[in-house]
Amino acid sequence: MQNYACVSDVPVQAKSRLLVSLYMMLSGIKTTEALNCAAKSDGQAGSDIGEKLKMTLNRWKADGFNIETGKVDYQRLANSEVFSEFRDAVSILQNFDPATLQTENERKAFWINMYNMLIVHGIIAYGVKSSVQEVKGAFERFAYIIGGYRFSTDDIEHGILRANKGHVAMPGKRFSGSDSRRRLVVETLDPRIHFTLVCASTSCPPIGIYQADLLDLQFDLAAKNFINNGGVVVDRGQMTVSLSRIFQWYASDFGGSWMNLFGSVAPVLRWIAQFIQDSDLAQFVDENAEKLQIRYQEYDWSLNV
């Protein structure tokens, strides 16, 4: 696999918080480093960018996505004609203002698809063989220039889709008050977004393509799929629940405390119970939320191939 990463030769507006800037510096990440700056786009990106993005993802699906299993054939996709065309076309994002997306669902669908596409692009660009952890600072390094601003996958997840709550390991909001990207933050954090974002790892949710007009249904399906297929395992006899690390790292998004370290985990379990498809098991978890012992699963960072 080739390395398609590039450094923009034009100033990229970025006002990252000190902790983020320090982490990027220590990881050797330039603020002008992105995956879509090599080609120049002369025209203006239209408001139909979301449809163009969806079309791209659908073409990718035919070349390397297995929607049923959530696996990605990165090697096949990297060598495909559609990916080559995509690399040339993605520069259009440099001229697109995401503030022109009119509804909250349009914004959420756009940024979720952008995150997932960026992850796949990054895996290919940096020649990842076995795990995204091969790339130092991958979630800060994988980035696009969109409307003159640099957006890493961490910017998209924690700044925009998690309503600017910030990374669990970096206290404080992701975007500072003086950061112009703050205008793009979604109004409400929907915890179900955690089951739509794919980090290129086996323990991540399966990859999907999200549409604004179907978003609520797709969010429910994503949550149910993840929770009922290994993300949550209940042992009634032992009165234990084995949870994906997602429910620990982002416990506060599901109604718990930071990392579930303080107070009761019951709110998180009751949130989960609404998506358990076995009604008897859902009732059991809901009624025993205060009594169940929590264990966390090891997170498998091996590539989702």
Percent of the chain with pLDDT over 90: 67
User: What would the pLDDT profile of 16-64 be if each residue is shown by its tens digit?
Assistant: 788 899 999 999 998 889 999 876 555 555 556 667 777 777 777 777 7
Judge contact between 191 and 250, C-beta under 8 A.
yes
Neighbour tally for 237: CB within 10 Å: 6
Place of tokens 């918080």: 17
pLDDT at 277 over 70: yes
Q: When comparing pLDDT for 218 and 170, which is higher? A: 218
Instruction: Locate all alpha helices (DSSP H) within 46-189, ordered by sequence.
Output: 49-64, 74-78, 81-89, 104-125, 138-141, 153-154
**To which H or E segment does residue 224 belong?**
helix 215-226
pLDDT at 3 over 70: no
Domain ranges of the chain: 6-217, 219-296
List, in order, residues 6 or more apart from 233 with CB less than 8 Å away. Answer: 241, 242, 297
Note the pLDDT of residue 1.
45
Neighbour tally for 112: CB within 10 Å: 25
Q: When comparing pLDDT for 113 and 40, which is higher? A: 113
CA–CA dist 162, 189 (Å, integer): 5
Query: What torsion do the CA atoms of 195, 99, 101, 186 make, to the nearest 10 degrees?
Result: 30
Note the pLDDT of residue 273.
98
CA–CA dist 157, 170 (Å, integer): 13
Judge contact between 162 and 173, C-beta under 8 A.
no
Residue type, 302: S
Tokens encoding 94: 């440099």
pLDDT band at 248 (very low <50, low <70, confident <90, very high): very high
Residue type, 211: Q
Burial of 131 (0-12, 13-18, 19+ CB in 10 A): middle
